[in-house]
A = this chain, B = another copy of it.
Amino acid sequence: VISDHDAIRTLNQRYARAADERDVDALALLFTPDATVDGARGAQTIAEWLDTMRSPRSWPTSMHVLGDPLIVLAGDTAHVDTYAVVHQLADPTSEQADLTLGIRYLDDLVRVADRWAIKARTARTLWMR
């Protein structure tokens, strides 16, 4: 048995790995079925957002480096505020440039059976380079 804080940090890291591997099935497990994602493409249902993750990538590989999250627990819900630096990496043989983004994830989580899941995510891009 691990603490809620550690379970939530694990959720964050599973998100990073699944996003970088474009493992859409693994991503789907991290959200509730009625989750919403509000990010670069505006407000989306989780089904719409997962569809965009299935589409061809603009950069072939990525690395989501997440800082330690700010976790505020309230019983079976939690608010999680995570700073991330996302490295979008070009194919080195192409002329495409890498893109690095500073992103803040603001997530509402709920406890679902024995795990935590994201019910609402707002992803704000703070900078890109």
Q: A interface vs B, CB < 8 Å?
A: 2-3, 5-6, 9-10, 12-14, 16-17, 61, 63-71, 73, 81, 83, 85, 87, 89, 98, 102, 104, 126-127, 129
Q: How far is the CA of A102 from the CA of B12 in the complex (A)?
A: 19
A2–B7 CA distance with the chains assembled, in angstroms: 13
- Whose C-beta in chain B lies nearest to the C-beta of A14? B70
Whole-angstrom CA separation of A54 from B79 in the bound complex: 28
In the complex, how many angstroms separate the beta carbon of A82 from the nearest chain B beta carbon?
Answer: 9
Contacts of A87 in B (CB 8 A): 102, 126-127
Q: Are A67 and B67 in contact (CB under 8 A)?
A: yes
Bound-state CA distance A104–B81 (Å) is 22
